[in-house]
Structure 1
Amino acid sequence: MNAAEYAAAQWARATGAGLDPHEYRRVTEGLESVADWGPAFRRTARGYVRRAENAGSHVSAGQHLLMAARWFHVATLGPYEGADRAEAGATQATEEAVEAVGTRVAEESEAVWGPAPATAEADDALARALALLEPDARRLSGAEFTGWLRGPADAPGTVIVVPGLDSAKEEFLDLAAALLERGLAVFAMDGPGQGALRATTTKRADYHHVIGQVIDALGATRVGLVGLSLGGYYAAETAALEPRVAATATVSGPFRLEWAELPQPVRDILVQRTGGAEAARAFTDQVDLAGLAARIEGPLLTVDGGQDVIPGVTNGEPLARLAPHGTYLSVPHGDHLLGNARPDWLPVLTDWITHALTG
């Protein structure tokens, strides 16, 4: 796949994550190969960081940093050989640099240790944005999760936003904003093999153990889950096995995966994020909700795009049908993650889970 084809394939996902479509086109039209993806998107992200540093108000600075976080995250979607190994080394070097130099600015650290991975830059940009825009936001971290708790302390419910195969908390900022506007608290997280934890942890299919740790840390009594892409499986698996989950919504979540039929890029990512080919196959074999759907006792909303056809992936209709309180929403023209159809599902989902959590 050449750069133009790859950019076209990522169009809906990138713009759905909040990138300006005109700027996306300008950046991607300048790519000579897919290998240029990461560097080009990081340069664009750093342009927003510079805008933040020169902004005339903390609001403008915070908004620029939120946009930087989005661009840094989308930079991680471009495939380039050895990225995870290089990122692991860069992450360790960056952590050592932070410990050694304290509050020294990122540029000085980079001059000594080399560039930080884009996942770390995305994480840092989001942290700086929330410090300006939402100083009450709290960072919560554990052995297998990290993320930001946002929203009122007395919110009637807390929604955990669960990312997927190669997504992260920075990809779904618009979803978080829509939930916050409805009065809910939101915990946008990275789990094993995701976002800020990508280079230091590996994916696990029994994700309810991770969400259990998150709920313990949150101390919340009314918890909902929204899982996106592979995160939809994580959310449904958790809803079946974690009794503290009150309501669950999935977006483009798989009901089942078949390793032999999966596209090679998906298999490559699974191999990278699980720690090897054997682990990737074992992980895929576990992604099957046939025996768990009936155990989801709370309300469930499953959202699919009618144009979301990925070989080896069974979409969410069987999950909604087999769950005792499942509702199915199919958007005929929607693609994977429905970035091309946000008005058709985002208000529906956010209203639905608000009502489910507040009665």
Structure 2
Amino acid sequence: MNVAEFAAAQWTRATGAGVDPHEYRRVTDGLAHVTDWGPSFVRAAHGHLQRARDAASPLSAGAHLLMAARWFHLATLAPYEEARRAAEEADRALGEALTVLEPGARRLSGEGFTGWLRGPADAPGTVIVVPGLDSAKEEFLDLVSALLARGLAVFAMDGPGQGALAATTTFVPDYERVVSRVVDALGAQRVGLVGLSLGGYFAARSAALEPRAAAVATVSGPFRLDWEQLPPPVRDIMARRAGGADAARAFVREVDLAALAPRIAAPLLVVDGGQDVIPGVTNGERLARLAPHGTYLRVPHGDHLLGNARADWLPRLADHIAHALAG
């Protein structure tokens, strides 16, 4: 895939993550090769860091820091020698932004997880946002904002092989153990789970096996994966995040919700995009049908992660979680 095709393929993902579409085009139009992706996105991120330093108000500085976090994260989507540093800088920029904008936000870390807890201390419920194959907590800031706007507390996390932990850990098949440790750290009796892309599988699996899950939603999440059907770029990412091709194949064999779906007792919303082209992540209807309280939402024009159709699913998802947790 040449760089123009790669940039086009990432367009709705990047704009869905909240970057300005015009800036995205300015950055990607000048790329000669996919190897230019990472350095160019890091330069865009540093531009926002400079704007944050020059800002006339904490509000403006915080907004630029959040934007820098997005650009640093997106720099890691293409093969890049400095991906580890970019992920660290994304993590740092998000932390600096929340220090400025939300002094009450708390960093929580434990075995296999790290992230930020945001929202009121007396919130009627707490939601854990779980990223996917090559995503991270910095990618879903708009989703977090939608949940916060409904009065909920939100813990946006990186787990094993994800975001700030990608360089030092690998994927684990029993992700529910990580989620259970997160719930323990939160001190919560009941939580909501929102999983995106592969995080949808993690969230659904965790909801089946963690009794404190009281509300669940998945977006572009796989019901079952087949290694032979996955496109080579997805296999390559999986191998990097799982610790090698053999480990990736073994991990993919575990991705199957047929036996677990009937054990999801919490209200479940499953969101699919009709234009999603990744094999295995367009079969969410079966998950919703097998779950005792599942609802299926298919957006015909939505692509993977539905960054091109946020109005069609994001408010409904946030309302689903808020209603299940808070009534």
TM-score bracket for this pair, using the shorter chain length: over 0.9
Matches within 5 A, 1:181-196: 181-196=149-164
Partner Cα separation in structure 1 for residue 119 and residue 303 of structure 2: 30
Q: Which residue pairs with 1:157 in the alignment?
A: 125
Give the letter for the 1:39 counterpart: P
Runs of 5+ in structure 1 lacking a partner? 89-116
Q: Please state how far the C-alpha of 1:351 moved relative to its aligned partner.
A: 0.7
Q: Which residue pairs with 2:259 in the alignment?
A: 291
TM-score, structure 2 length as denominator? 0.98
What is the RMSD computed on CA atoms of the aligned residues? Answer: 1.0
Q: Which residue pairs with 1:306 in the alignment?
A: 274
Rate the CA distance shift 1:341–1:314 in 2: closer, same or farther, 3 A: closer
Partner Cα separation in structure 1 for residue 51 and residue 199 of structure 2: 33
SS in 2 for 1:327: strand
SS in 1 for 2:192: strand
Match of 1:325 among 265, 268, 293: 293
Partner Cα separation in structure 1 for residue 118 and residue 246 of structure 2: 38
TM-score, structure 1 length as denominator? 0.90
Q: Please state how far the C-alpha of 1:78 moved relative to its aligned partner.
A: 1.2
Give the letter for the 2:65 counterpart: L
Partner Cα separation in structure 1 for residue 18 and residue 108 of structure 2: 24
Q: Which residue pairs with 1:29 in the alignment?
A: 29
Q: Which residue pairs with 1:67 in the alignment?
A: 67
Runs of 5+ in structure 2 lacking a partner? none
Matches within 5 A, 1:1-359: 1-80=1-80, 83=81, 117-313=85-281, 315-359=283-327
- Deviation per residue, 1:302-325 (Å, 9 max, x gap): 000011122354521110010010
Q: Which residue pairs with 1:106 in the alignment?
A: none
Partner Cα separation in structure 2 for residue 181 and residue 323 of structure 1: 28
Give the letter for the 1:334 counterpart: G
Count of residue pairs brought into register by the alignment: 327
SS in 1 for 2:201: helix
Q: Please state how far the C-alpha of 1:49 moved relative to its aligned partner.
A: 0.2
Q: Which protein shows a greater Rg?
A: 1
Structure 2 contact 221–281 (Cα < 8 Å) conserved: no
Structure 1 contact 184–354 (Cα < 8 Å) conserved: yes
Partner Cα separation in structure 1 for residue 253 and residue 138 of structure 2: 28
Structure 1 contact 149–187 (Cα < 8 Å) conserved: yes
- Deviation per residue, 1:28-77 (Å, 9 max, x gap): 00000000000000000000000001110111100100000000010110
